[in-house]
Structure 1
Amino acid sequence: MIKAIIVDDERFNIRNLQSLLNSQHSEIEVAGTATSPSQARGLILDLKPDVVFLDIQMRGMNGFELLKSLDERSFEVIFVTAYDEYGIMAIKFSALDYLLKPISIIELNKAVDKIKDRISTKKQNLRLENLLYLLDNQDRDENEKIALPTLKETYLIPVKNIVRCESSNNYTTFFLVDGVSHLISKPMYEYEELLSPYGFIRCHQSHLVNKKHIVSILNEDSGYLIMEYTGSKVPISKQKKSIVKSFFKIQ
């Protein structure tokens, strides 16, 4: 799912674009809308969108000025404007695309295709960066780290300090030995392939655990893994039970 925010000082324009996205592109989740640059700024910082559909000509502050006011811009931008002369400026501002009002379905579809391609490339690059980092450090077990990017900071966490990971939709929470947790706006499967070589087990659709921190296996229901440090009771799904048993050579 691609998280989007729509910014336009005319509510009709917001409703129109949101309706087009809902009917044509189920992979786009409109997580929030804003009718002013100040409101948009708060939403961007809070929701950390993948893409912002941004009106250029707004009262008080235009779209370019809004972007300049942000210290960091990790999202893609598609400008929406009624004025064709803004197109060149939008391109110079490194926008992914720009749409002219009234919005054409064909042009919207092209813009969404660009969004999907760009975000897919970003995810592939993140996996590659993490993989290369781990491979470069594989001969120094105590120093192996994984990069966990948030909006304001990228944490380099030793793999041995990760107790477990838990997913919720497109987010993953990393629980560490010191009790600290980090919520990352990336799905867990992107990290599973990186962490599996280091003894991490996918014991449930929503849970990935570090075998080094498993204290015991509780024989209730399909089973639970008891984790040290956090004291977590992590469920084992029926589908994963045989994998867990095989991992620990349990008959």
Structure 2
Amino acid sequence: MIKALIVEDELYIRKGLISMIASLDKDIDIIGECESVQEAITVTKACKPDLIFLDINLKDGIAFDFLDQVKDLKFQVIFITAYDQYALQAIKNGAVDYILKPVDIDELSEAIDRVQTITADRSTHIEIVKEQFIENKREHIVLRLQEGYQIIRFEDLMYCQSDKGYTTFYTNDKKSYIASKPIKEFESQLPNDLFVRTHQSYMVNLRFIDKYDKTGYAFLKSGVKIPVSTRKREEFVSRLLL
């Protein structure tokens, strides 16, 4: 019997997942449910699960904050999330699988089977999963504009600026495109390894940053000046130093 913990901030998703796992009849014992990073740390250290079904965004942080705090414990992880851009980071953390919401029961079944059949050669297993997600990794965002659809490659997108419910996308060929949605609607579509939120109105591609002024501004190679809000500065600087 595998002892499993569910770490997910939405109650209805936790209950749905429990129901799906029960219907698969795979000897999984759900020993607890958590909705926050701190709660997950406490329960994991106390109960020592064999397997954790883990969401990315939790009530007080993200899954990787939790994993950093329990890295000395031995357990397997199946990520279940709405965000596909964290797949490679999940793999680096040793994830067995990475399932996108809404959860497909066949994918869930296969993931649990992997948990039950993983051998001591963990590195080989991780490479297999890594190849699977690299093949499907998106390289662009598609904007719905008044005149149609615009495809923008992530490597060409310098930054996004939101204003009064609209977001303008600026590319390195000096073009700009306005979409009729606020920036928060696009944040999950931009890969976390490339883009960082510097301000409630700005997201910036780290590859285009030339320097950071400690007065609170980032300067792009094009000369554009981007504000970095006080509450975003610590995270922004840490991303620059990676």
TM-score (norm 1): 0.46
TM-score (norm 2): 0.48
Higher Rg of the two aligned structures = 1
